[in-house]
Structure 1
Amino acid sequence: MSALNPDAAVAPMQYIENKTYDAITVGDIATLTRTLKPQDIELFSVMSGDVNPAHVDADYAKTDIFHGVIAHGVWGGALISAVLGTELPGPGTIFLNQRLKFVLPVGLGDTVTVRVEVTDKQDKGHVKLACSCLNQHDKVVIEGVAPVIAPSEKVRRPRVVLPEVHLHTQRAQYARLLAATDPLDPIRTGVVHPCDSASLTSALEAARQGIIIPVLIGPKVRIEAVASAAGRDLDGIDIINAPHSHAAAAAAVALARTGEVAALMKGALHTDEIMEAVVDPAYSLRTERRMSHIYVLDVPIYPKQLLITDAAINIAPYLAIKRDIVQNVIDLARTLGINLPKVAILSAVETVTPRIASTLGAAALCKMADRGQITGGLLDGPLAFDNAISPAAEAVKGIVSDVAGIADQLVAPDLESANMMAKQQIYLAGANAAGIVLGAQVPIILTSRADSRVARLASCALAQLFVSHRAQEAS
């Protein structure tokens, strides 16, 4: 029994022990069974650096068969070594040689049984073992012989529990996002005060990739100096001279209001400066919809893009504003090709609790969706964060939901929680974060100095996709 929980069963200690030379007899057998999984292939490629397309590219190989590992003896040979080193003879074994013949390839999902059998005992601890690997159809895929020196002393030690290894492809979601922009025309974009290298080079790189046509707005001399220091050419790029960041923001908003640019992009100025110009009555880009910020996160451990809102604009939104926040994130999700976005309205718990105001707001938003006040998405809430994104947590809690465990969007109760949640994904889970503001007459690309190059490009791609989608709907 556990000292902390007397009702909890304690797993029995497992041991690893060897068989000494004196205890070994001809005919002794040990076996091990394993199934080849995709993560085995990925881990092998990471460890070895082997990126031969015949091994790791299913499209190239035309099949799911992973020829490389077995062909080179790495996976099968490793399994045989594991039996020799842990079972027979076990710890203390000295390997002298391993001669293997590879008869058949092993495919993803194939189950291989390794079998080693003592065939000969010689002087001075030398033992010879026949080795074979059979697939689930009892066909030999590997066969060979392994001469070893068996241990002379008995070893029995607790079996080490190996850590779980999780392999993830960084930026895989953004690669698909950027690929979706390939057939689209670039959008004319007002880049506001691009007076540092990060913002200017990001705009120019997005232009080079055919995502935007940048219109640089700010002090011309400073912009040209930044370009020169970064080794970038501004030939053919429109520059609108503005003496400082506030003037640049006002000029950019004026261009958006007259339709001369289809999007705005934040440069080296505070978000407040550009948003003050956007809502200024003299140039206002307001619509009947409340503006809100949406993070589009590429989280390596999550199987799809994860949208979090609102992390930058609305500090403590009340219900009517939250309605617009939810509608904005649904509209963006549909732009990204999610036909029925699954929207989780977050709180600390998954039940409506009068003492927690955010649970009441979540329930109200879901009812608003039922009444057609929010359209285009599937809402559920309140949901705690774990219930929203983890099928395991959903199952444990017994939640019956079409959203829980597989949410596409997370709507936070307030700006603080949304911002902290997004930053945790970035700095603890290795996520990249693209950002955009919707609800104005044009999308506003918000970037941060800490953003990676690909995150900045993804932010521009979000605006391009949104503008293109809106044009298609209008036509």
Structure 2
Amino acid sequence: MTTFEQILKRAESLPSVTVAVAAAADHEVLEAVRDAKQHGIAQFLLFGDQDKIKEIAAEIGLELAEEEVTHAKSVQEAALLAVTAVKERRADVMMKGMVQTSDFLRAVLNKEKGLRTGKVLSHVASFEVPGFDRLIHVTDPALNVAPTLPEKAQITQNIIDFCHSLGNTEPKIAALAAVEVVNPNMQATLDAAALSQMNRRGQIKGALVDGPFALDNAISLESAEHKGVTGPVAGQADVLLVPDIEAGNILYKSMVYFAKAKIGALVLGAAAPVILTSRADSAEAKLYSIAMAVLQADYTKRR
């Protein structure tokens, strides 16, 4: 699937999921809830300020049954109630509403009620960029601050499984650095080369992994050819594996604010799909993230 409309159409053909939303009292969040229900891809359990949720729902034409809304005294309590609903299998997916990422993730990682699996959790932001013939997936722009090589290997496996859920059976993954050559003084280039070799040796499977790449020769065939960078990933990357959270966060926001890209975002590696978008992201971005979570949930059930 190369567009969010294709992902949304695919989600419409699958069984709907139940999404537990933490701190749902927000216009953009509830507009996404309304649109997802209209598309028939999800049902919802909403946790947060009950009066405010109902007030916003009335303003935007979202009809809610009493059992769909649970009052929480704080956003932290809302996050714990949402993750408990998923843990108890009353919901299939957890979604971040108007709550800080740190509070949301604290609930996801809660030792008793959270969604830990023993794997490294990682974040993917998927972008539909004007002028590109494919979705571009950026990982990890939100969770892992300065991942080690073993952590990058797990992040890579997470994104491979995610791409498979979208129907891309052999994604092209570019491990990014500032330059496209190995420099012993630049750890990102050493890690990228190691990941590439791990892929060649069969330690990382289900994708083509190469690097290091600079951003230009990872996504532009013209740039790759001009610089003499070759291989099946060069200029054709589906996935941009960033070296650290600073690079990923800047790239994420550049895509949204400079490139005007459409976006969807998830946390990977948890016991259930977790929707993690920025509080500033649009209702459309949150809807696309819900659709991605539907595909992820279906893929997990079929594995």
How high is the TM-score relative to the length of structure 2?
A: 0.95
Query: For the residues of structure 1 that align with 2:152 and 2:191, how far apart are their CA atoms?
Result: 9
1:237 deviates by 5.6
Specify the code of the residue in structure 2 equivalent to 1:455.
Answer: A
Query: For the residues of structure 2 that align with 1:332 and 1:352, how far apart are their CA atoms?
Result: 28
- 2:77 maps to 1:247: yes
Query: For the residues of structure 2 that align with 1:215 and 1:304, how far apart are their CA atoms?
Result: 33
Query: For the residues of structure 1 that align with 2:16 and 2:61, how far apart are their CA atoms?
Result: 23
Query: For the residues of structure 2 that align with 1:429 and 1:401, how far apart are their CA atoms?
Result: 27
1:219 deviates by 2.8
Give the aligned partner of residue 37 of structure 2.
207
Deviations 1:386-420 (A, max 9, x none): 11000011111222211011000000000110111
Query: For the residues of structure 2 that align with 1:421 and 1:344, how far apart are their CA atoms?
Result: 14
Which residue of 57, 79, 88 corresponds with 1:258?
Answer: 88
- 2:195 maps to 1:365: yes
- By relative contact order (CA 8 Å, sep 6+), the higher-ranking structure is 2
Query: For the residues of structure 1 that align with 2:81 and 2:201, how far apart are their CA atoms?
Result: 41
- Does the 8 Å contact 1:191/1:203 carry over to 2? no
Specify the code of the residue in structure 1 equivalent to 2:147.
Answer: P
- 2:245 maps to 1:415: yes
1:276 deviates by 0.4
Query: For the residues of structure 1 that align with 2:164 and 2:279, how far apart are their CA atoms?
Result: 28
1:338 deviates by 0.6
- Does the 8 Å contact 1:301/1:429 carry over to 2? no
Give the aligned partner of residue 6 of structure 2.
176
- 2:192 maps to 1:192: no
Higher helix fraction (1 or 2)? 2
Give the aligned partner of residue 330 of structure 1.
160
State the structure with more CA Rg.
1
Corresponding pairs, count = 302
Query: For the residues of structure 1 that align with 2:87 and 2:201, how far apart are their CA atoms?
Result: 34
- Alignment map for 1:210-225 (pairs within 5 Å): 210-225=40-55
1:263 deviates by 0.6
Give the aligned partner of residue 283 of structure 2.
453
Deviations 1:238-288 (A, max 9, x none): 222222111111111112112221111111111111100111212131112
Query: For the residues of structure 1 that align with 2:188 and 2:279, how far apart are their CA atoms?
Result: 32
- Alignment map for 1:90-109 (pairs within 5 Å): none
Query: For the residues of structure 1 that align with 2:280 and 2:22, how far apart are their CA atoms?
Result: 18
Which residue of 236, 253, 278 corresponds with 2:108?
Answer: 278
Give the aligned partner of residue 346 of structure 1.
176
Give the aligned partner of residue 400 of structure 1.
230
Give the aligned partner of residue 99 of structure 1.
none
Specify the code of the residue in structure 2 equivalent to 1:398.
Answer: G
- Does the 8 Å contact 1:342/1:379 carry over to 2? yes
- Percent identical residues: 37
Query: For the residues of structure 2 that align with 1:206 and 1:215, how far apart are their CA atoms?
Result: 13
Give the aligned partner of residue 119 of structure 1.
none
- 2:155 maps to 1:309: no
- Does the 8 Å contact 1:187/1:464 carry over to 2? yes
- Does the 8 Å contact 1:296/1:307 carry over to 2? yes
Deviations 1:339-359 (A, max 9, x none): 100000001111111011100
Query: For the residues of structure 2 that align with 1:370 and 1:339, how far apart are their CA atoms?
Result: 17
- Does the 8 Å contact 2:32/2:284 carry over to 1? no
How high is the TM-score relative to the length of structure 1?
A: 0.62
1:200 deviates by 1.6
- Does the 8 Å contact 1:344/1:407 carry over to 2? yes
- 2:300 maps to 1:470: yes
Structure 1 runs, 4 residues or longer, greater than 3 Å off: none
Give the aligned partner of residue 390 of structure 1.
220
- Does the 8 Å contact 1:388/1:394 carry over to 2? yes
Specify the code of the residue in structure 1 equivalent to 2:103.
Answer: E
Query: For the residues of structure 1 that align with 2:83 and 2:279, how far apart are their CA atoms?
Result: 22
Specify the code of the residue in structure 2 equivalent to 1:367.
Answer: Q
Which residue of 83, 94, 98 corresponds with 1:268?
Answer: 98
Give the aligned partner of residue 122 of structure 2.
292
Structure 2 gap segments, 5+ residues each: none
Kindly tell me: are residues 236 and 242 of structure 1, through their superposed partners in 2, closer, same or farther at Cα, counting changes over 3 Å? closer
Query: For the residues of structure 1 that align with 2:256 and 2:61, how far apart are their CA atoms?
Result: 30
Where 1:290 maps in the other structure, the secondary structure is coil
Query: For the residues of structure 2 that align with 1:390 and 1:424, how far apart are their CA atoms?
Result: 17
1:450 deviates by 3.1
Query: For the residues of structure 1 that align with 2:135 and 2:66, how far apart are their CA atoms?
Result: 35
Query: For the residues of structure 2 that align with 1:371 and 1:259, how far apart are their CA atoms?
Result: 39
Where 1:228 maps in the other structure, the secondary structure is helix
Where 1:326 maps in the other structure, the secondary structure is helix
Where 2:182 maps in the other structure, the secondary structure is coil
Query: For the residues of structure 1 that align with 2:79 and 2:259, how far apart are their CA atoms?
Result: 34
1:462 deviates by 0.6
- Alignment map for 1:231-246 (pairs within 5 Å): 231-235=61-65, 238-246=68-76
Query: For the residues of structure 2 that align with 1:315 and 1:192, how far apart are their CA atoms?
Result: 24
Where 1:345 maps in the other structure, the secondary structure is strand
- Does the 8 Å contact 1:216/1:237 carry over to 2? no
Specify the code of the residue in structure 2 equivalent to 1:328.
Answer: N
1:335 deviates by 0.7
Where 1:180 maps in the other structure, the secondary structure is helix
